Chain A
Amino acid sequence: MVLRSMDTCDVVTVSGRMDAVTAPEFEKQCLKWMEEGHKNFLLDFSSLEYISSAGLRSILGVAKKAKPLGGKVVLSGLSGVVAEVFSISGFDAFLPIVETPEAGKGLF
């Protein structure tokens, strides 16, 4: 997991798998970044191969905690089974999804 600042937000690159073990670590790390003052997260999932409901829950947790701070969560680079999981879950209805991090800059 890598955090890099863009002009309007912070890009979080998540690669590999978001499963029952790694998803809680993701959420914990994001909450730590929030305590340090970050609140706008653009999650770059272009190298994410797998996500389960544990991953969805952790993202929902981060998005819900960012909102009262005036922040938000945007997703980018979803493909294959990862995109399918977001579509089935209906999370694409309330989390903005863009093709690339650059395309999401204007959403914050």
Chain B
Amino acid sequence: MPFLPVEKQRTFEARVDLVPRIVEWIEGVAEEAGLHPRQQQHLALSTEEAVMNICSYAYKIPPGEVTIQVSSTPERCRVIFRDRGIPFDPFSLEEPDLGASMEDREIGGLGILLMRRVMDEVHYTREGDENLLRFEIYPRERES
């Protein structure tokens, strides 16, 4: 299946109960772009984590909105999440201590760790009153 140029944008309410629908939407886009099945799964996972952070931390009076923009070419698939919440740099958080025992293991930071490991690149910038989180995926050929 060839990689197809895809340009999509959609705005959702940032609500936990809508996360499955948002993930379903991004899965459809990833499929349309011809991403490798494993990369589709990675994008679905990272999207849930990104949107959950926005649902949980971004807006003082939830729900706010998140706009997701996908632009995919055979060379790279770029996914940008924009919200107008308070500035939140996911890289300002410490990574969880992976060597900690079960009792000491904290529950925070896991989502950011996962997206950083499964996406090829993750970038954060603050532009005006918006948080921008950007994923870059280098498309891998599907096994035929």
Do the beta carbons of A52 and B114 come within 8 Å of each other?
Answer: yes
A104 and B99 alpha carbons, distance in the complex (Å):
23
- In the assembled complex, B101 has its CB within 8 A of some CB on chain A: yes
Do the beta carbons of B99 and A93 come within 8 Å of each other?
Answer: yes
Residue of B nearest to A89 (CB): B110
Q: Select one of A56, A67, A80, A84 contacting B102, CB under 8 A.
A: A67
Residue of B nearest to A54 (CB): B52
Contacting B at CB under 8 A, from A1-31, are 17, 19-21
Q: How far is the CB of A57 from chain B (nearest CB, A)?
A: 5
- How many residues of B sit at the interface, in one of the four size bands? 20 to 34
- In the assembled complex, A98 has its CB within 8 A of some CB on chain B: no
- In the assembled complex, B78 has its CB within 8 A of some CB on chain A: no
- In the assembled complex, A47 has its CB within 8 A of some CB on chain B: no
Residues of B within 8 A of A (CB): 16-17, 19-20, 23, 38, 41-42, 44-45, 48-49, 52, 96, 98-99, 101-103, 105, 107, 110-111, 113-114, 117-118
